[in-house]
Amino acid sequence: GNKRLAQFVFPQADFQWYTEHLGKTISECERRVLQAKAYIKCFYKAAKGRATPLVLRQQSEQVENIKAAKTLQGTAKRLHEKLVETQEAIAQAVLRNQQLAAAAGGAQERAARPLWTEARAVLRRA
């Protein structure tokens, strides 16, 4: 049958690296969004507030950059949340398995004691 894991060490180094990687991705996306917004403002400032064809073209390009960055940022946040949730679920399952193993081990020990007393009695008679 299936064995319950009672001893499991979660790979903390991998978890920490992946968390840092996702954090860097999120901060990079935030930086890209701010940079794109600054470019849009710069284009309008250079055109003295007028919506010229060049400004509108640049604006649409930067809006696409913002959309892509926000999509990537949302994906990274969801992956991070899922990773944390999975780690917590594994930790809870291992703890539950340890408690079950401790409870089952005690029951087996209590059930085995009468057998050991019989075995001692038989050995003493022999």
Mean pLDDT across the stretch 78-85? Answer: 94
- Specify if 54 maps to a domain: yes
Sole residue written with tokens 């001692």: 120
* 82 within domain boundaries: yes
Query: Is position 6 within any domain?
Result: no
- Rounded to whole angstroms, what are the CA distances from 108 to 27, 94, 97, 120? 54, 21, 16, 18
Number of domains comprising the chain? 1
Whether residue 29 lies inside any domain: the answer is yes
Q: pTM for this structure?
A: 0.68
Per-residue pLDDT reduced to its tens digit, 94-105: 888 888 888 776
Q: Is 60 domain-assigned?
A: yes
Structural domain boundaries enclosing 55: 12-125
The pLDDT value recorded for residue 20 is 95
Per-residue pLDDT of 21-66, as tens digits, reads 999 999 999 999 999 999 999 999 999 999 999 999 999 999 999 9
Instruction: State residue 48's pLDDT score.
Output: 92
